[in-house]
Structure 1
């Protein structure tokens, strides 16, 4: 079944004071945190594993002003016991700038209480671009949009690039961490004269609506569509030179977003183009082989995996129903977003989506990437070129993996995945910028 998505009938892109009134900045707690486990419980002599460990405190944050310190264990927020990281994050989402709360802590075996007054999350700043915080409405969700406009634009109209992130529930609004890959990419695009658009997922960052972990693929795609359609109407945006960059699953969503919002071109990075079950089985076998699993065990695993994926993704059973039949398959049913999101991914006919578009496409993959595969990139290009000859090409880039870590091959990338702060390789950004520049010069 081919999925179709309906853009909300009305939406508004808000900036400046209006945006602040419609979608305020979230409260800035300012702690790095970690869930509790057996090791942490032993190290800090904790009575149980309720709570979260504070691993760092941000400068000028609510937590710093209240006197929280690294190695504190937050056990209670007001009168609510803290169970784990997701529940703690959910508790914090209820607070607005100016609210107060009492945190109950364990510090060196002693119970302390600290009163926090929540300050607003800071704004992103850069010498290379200005930032406009806005919002779009999609269904019941109000989503944060972040538009960067290059400080030194070549003319009154500026080309725009929508940045679609990978799978999972995390915010792309990170003003305090300028060295994240997303910020590095946006910084490079801005220095070369491109405006950028980000849309935070529902329930993440400032976005309001259903929790991200309950949202499905249709909901997420609709948010990107609404954001891009609104940004394309800005008077300073060059509507004839609007692009999408889709990273990982962002490349799966890109042709769906572009179905109703015309774009000049799409760049994908490490994406998939086969059916989701095909991809998952390939990926599981490859990663199990890299991890050194015996081949006979891999075959047993693949047989079980194929069976549970069929029930979950084709028969549309719930994880609970699948586990009732295959109780030892719990590890195989862990996904970074709601299972309905994955079911809708399986329903996609990506070949149909790509061949319907008449736009230029650059498919990129790092040679050390053990999460995506050249087969998918080449298939994507073949689909586009059969329908629209010469519109797409695939380029394999050396010494980089799925998450932009500098690695020579898949085994090294797997080893580095456990290393703290591995070196990154951002050479691919120059490849993207050259392609964007070339595509802008070509007639539609």
Structure 2
């Protein structure tokens, strides 16, 4: 070892702010053939049972071995009725430990409506237990009726469909198909804890549109393999079947069906619109650039908002560039990547098949291979790209590029809308830093994006 004048000191990595460490953990562990039945959305002999839900909004994965933190409760839900509080940690269900989001999801995966469970909670330094009865109720909106049906997929299993229709509408209705983000959460509106998204869905239904959603395979009531195991292509097959089935429904006007792609749904929407005719496409909080480039830009943006300095930003960006390039281009498994580059573990990467948002290696490699950005060049319908000015999950420029591609090929078909002070959770904040620190779905809902959507639908022939 060299010592004295001219000696080379070991390179010291600048310490990461605590909030940045949390964001890195979040990014690494969380971070986008129809049935032959006469009425495939509502078959006479349904095969899907209604599963029960706990009714909680989970906090970020923070690595705390005591259990999964509860960030919020769905009003009137099973957990709230059982006396569970925001801030509690679920440490076990029926004495089975739940140290991670995935363990909790596995414990609840087959829970039926009305099933009794025992929750073990960590609350302010004490371990307590609470009995809870899982429940799920239909969406209740004045002047509308919600029905729960199913769609048979190309793989031979059914996924849950949710259709909300205005009671006073006559004739075939215009419909809006909401395509959710990357996570494995249910789109059943009674379980959506993100207040902004829930209000948007409700307001579109109140405006006279049939609102349609499906749960992904293995999510909510849907049959199929667990969400953390299958790939992007299998998920797309379910959405294709759902869109085809929706357009064949006797109460829906197939010429007035719109897609609304949220986050990862905004990547999947153009792939659907390139294959099937739709009246228009709305994307919100989505991406356009290749996934590796997106992840590098995303972690830079979020790290800067949580207090990282320029040196730290470079280290984080380099780590993300290395991991995602090796995963998507060299096709190395995370375990192989961590064997070669063990230093990446400090940025939240794990040697498991679950890469980000609880999704698998297969999901991201198939996403990468889908070339979704090129699908926009095949979309000939009307397009609205919405970006919240405080959206710390995606970039305004990606949305502008989508509009640019459409208008280059079909002038005047696409438009861009910026929702002031709105974050990725469709809620408004005083600053982007406040949004990322507080939790994007917990603020006051923004009406700006919904109003822009409804005006767009009308211009595109929805009404």
Work out whether the TM-score is over 0.5: yes
Contact 2:159 2:215 in 1 (8 A): yes
Q: 1:410 aligns with which of 406, 426, 432?
A: 432
Question: In structure 1, the residue corresponding to 2:289 is in which secondary structure?
Answer: coil
Superposition TM-score, scaled by structure 1 size:
0.82
Q: Does 1:341 align with 2:341?
A: no
Task: For residues 242-279 of structure 1, give each alpha carbon's deviation from its aligned partner in whole angstroms, at most 9, with x where no partner exists.
Answer: 11011111111001122332101101112111111121
- Paired position in structure 2 for 1:77: 94
CA distance in 2, matches of 1:369, 1:423: 14
Q: 1:322 aligns with which of 312, 316, 337?
A: 337
Question: In structure 2, the residue corresponding to 1:329 is in which secondary structure?
Answer: helix
- Paired position in structure 2 for 1:373: 395
- Paired position in structure 1 for 2:28: none
Q: Does 1:89 align with 2:110?
A: no
CA distance in 2, matches of 1:54, 1:377: 30
CA distance in 1, matches of 2:97, 2:319: 39
**Cα distance, 1:335–1:112 mapped onto 2, change above 3 Å:** closer
**Cα distance, 1:148–1:297 mapped onto 2, change above 3 Å:** same
CA distance in 1, matches of 2:240, 2:179: 11
- Paired position in structure 1 for 2:449: 428
Question: In structure 2, the residue corresponding to 1:145 is in which secondary structure?
Answer: strand
Contact 1:398 1:408 in 2 (8 A): no
Q: Could you tell me how far 1:389 is from its partner in structure 2?
A: 2.1
CA distance in 2, matches of 1:159, 1:274: 32
Q: Does 1:175 align with 2:190?
A: yes
Task: For residues 109-138 of structure 1, give each alpha carbon's deviation from its aligned partner in whole angstroms, at most 9, with x where no partner exists.
Answer: 788796x7x665211111131111111122
**Cα distance, 1:29–1:385 mapped onto 2, change above 3 Å:** closer
CA distance in 2, matches of 1:105, 1:401: 31
Q: Does 1:298 align with 2:319?
A: no
CA distance in 2, matches of 1:247, 1:293: 28
CA distance in 2, matches of 1:201, 1:396: 29
Decide which moves more: 177-186 or 345-354: 177-186
CA distance in 2, matches of 1:104, 1:294: 40
- Pairing of 1:2-21 with structure 2 (within 5 A): 8=33, 10=35, 12=37, 14-15=40-41, 18=44, 21=46
CA distance in 1, matches of 2:72, 2:387: 34
Contact 1:131 1:149 in 2 (8 A): yes
Contact 1:51 1:83 in 2 (8 A): yes
Q: 1:157 aligns with which of 169, 172, 176?
A: 172
Q: 1:287 aligns with which of 302, 318, 339?
A: 302
Q: 1:25 aligns with which of 45, 50, 62?
A: 50
- Pairing of 1:177-256 with structure 2 (within 5 A): 180-256=195-271
- Paired position in structure 2 for 1:144: 160
Superposition TM-score, scaled by structure 2 size:
0.79
Q: Supply the RMSD in Å over aligned alpha carbons.
A: 3.5
Unaligned 5+ residue runs, structure 1? 1-7, 40-47
Q: 1:355 aligns with which of 377, 381, 386?
A: 377
Contact 1:141 1:210 in 2 (8 A): no
- Higher RCO (CA 8 Å, separation ≥ 6 residues): 2
Q: Could you tell me how far 1:187 is from its partner in structure 2?
A: 1.7
Q: Could you tell me how far 1:325 is from its partner in structure 2?
A: 1.0
**Cα distance, 1:110–1:385 mapped onto 2, change above 3 Å:** closer
Unaligned 5+ residue runs, structure 2? 1-32, 350-354
